[in-house]
Amino acid sequence: MSTKRITVVGIGPGSSEDITPAAMNALKEADIIIGYKYYFQFINPFLSQQTECIDTGMKREKDRVQQAFELAEQGKKIVVISSGDAGIYGMTPLVYEMKRERNSEVEVVSYPGISAFQKAASILGAPIGHDFCIISLSDLMTPWKIIEKRILAASIGDFVTAVYNPKSNERYWQLYRLKEIFLSEGRSENTPVGYVRQAGRKEQTTTITTLGKFNPEEVDMFTIVIIGNSQSYTWNNRFITPRGYYREDQNKEIKIGQSIMINSFRTIEKELKNKDIPLDRKWPLLHAIHTTADFNMEDILYTDKHAVEILYNKIINRELKYIISDVNMVVSGIRKGALSRLNIQALCYLDDSRVADMAQNENITRTQAGIRLAVTDHPDALFVFGNAPTALIELCHLIRKRKACPVGIIAAPVGFVHVKESKYMVKPFTEIPKIIIEGRKGGSNLAATLVNSILTFNDAEALLPGRDL
């Protein structure tokens, strides 16, 4: 007597190329296929003419399985189909549960299939190269309170996260909440996000964006969403999460000082009040907070739009060759490795033999005299101020007289006399990229770290500060 059996088959995401040979053979040998009608279109080419297909409709999974047992107990070769992998949000668990409930002697065999998240991942590139989890946002079977706990755990654990059932007409807000949780728990707004609609089917569409720009309105129940972890990145329109094969080489390059700085930046990023800020503002802000441990920098750091990116590009294009500072302490704080790597000179004229005579003869400060001399030699330098408001005021006058044309200005003088006014004087120069520490705060260490943020802007997207420590 033949064994009474139900075979549960994962038919893959929808393309005939993604159905496994084992699944094909099971379909060919079946007397009856039981499943949701929509999926029959994907398996028809593999069925014999005698095979009967029974559709129980949507949301009638228990009826479907009950009928499968009844027919299998009559000796019929029954195949229950499920899209993707039948064991992942599919029919296999329900078949086993009902077998237990019925105390049935019918044998259950399950053939795995390619899951929708696997298909979507292969289309996007390699987003699931490391630890990952899958979360369904459907609350038909699971209370939202539990789903939200799992979302929180995934975000805290830095898991690559694949999202099933992300959104429907009535269940529209849960994906917004997931995004909110991920961002609030420190997942960077630059984290890659990829989503594929109708993966493996002729209607397939693919999008790669970032967590900050991700718009939940663009997805539906036919969409798989994959959110990267802190190491994920995009390259050549592909979404990649590294497994770590290059880590040994990277660890040789990353010294303990840089490692501490990287971890510090990640901590700071998590604690920012406003995470939805452009990268070329966030990068100098992270440097400023790291240097001062002062989160008020979020309110007092002013950057012209794209200032850091513009100045970095000028370095790469050899339009920025000199950095001039008001005091030697700023020059000391600028990373020598970065200056050497980028072939830039950082200069302060305070020790120039001409400065003392000029200051005495013209009744100006030594820092003013130093800026006057520097402008004569390098009128188009990046000018950086970390101490003396009088030096910044001097530069403003020289710009107005068309004797100086700085490629950029970093204004961070500190103190109580003319400090605020000197910073106000800089802002009207709209054609010059500027970074300003507003108010009375500032200092040489701040000015230097802002310079370092420009010199290392190509490390900003990967959040890898401290390369030249």
Q: What is the C-alpha separation between 231 and 130, in angstroms, rounded?
A: 9
Both structure tokens of 427:
């802002």
b/e per residue 426-460 (b: at least 16 CB within 10 A): beebeebbbbbbbeebbbbbbbbbbbbbbbbbebb
> Any idea what the Cα angle at residue 417 is, between residues 412 and 421, rounded to 5°?
60
CA 377 to chain CA centroid, nearest Å: 43
Catalytic residue list contains 290: yes
Which residue of the set 290, 378, 397, 418 is catalytic? 290
End-to-end CA distance of the chain: 77
Both structure tokens of 434:
């500027």
Tell me which residue has tokens 């789903």: 147
- 223-227 and 160-164 beta bridge pairing: antiparallel
Question: Which H or E element spans position 398?
Answer: helix 389-400
In sequence order, the 6+-apart residues with CB closer than 8 A to the CB of 317 are none
Q: What is the C-alpha separation between 138 and 246, in angstroms, rounded?
A: 38
Both structure tokens of 340:
């050497």
Residue 383 CB-half CA count within 13 A: 34
Q: What is the C-alpha separation between 423 and 143, in angstroms, rounded?
A: 55
Q: Return the active site residues.
A: 290
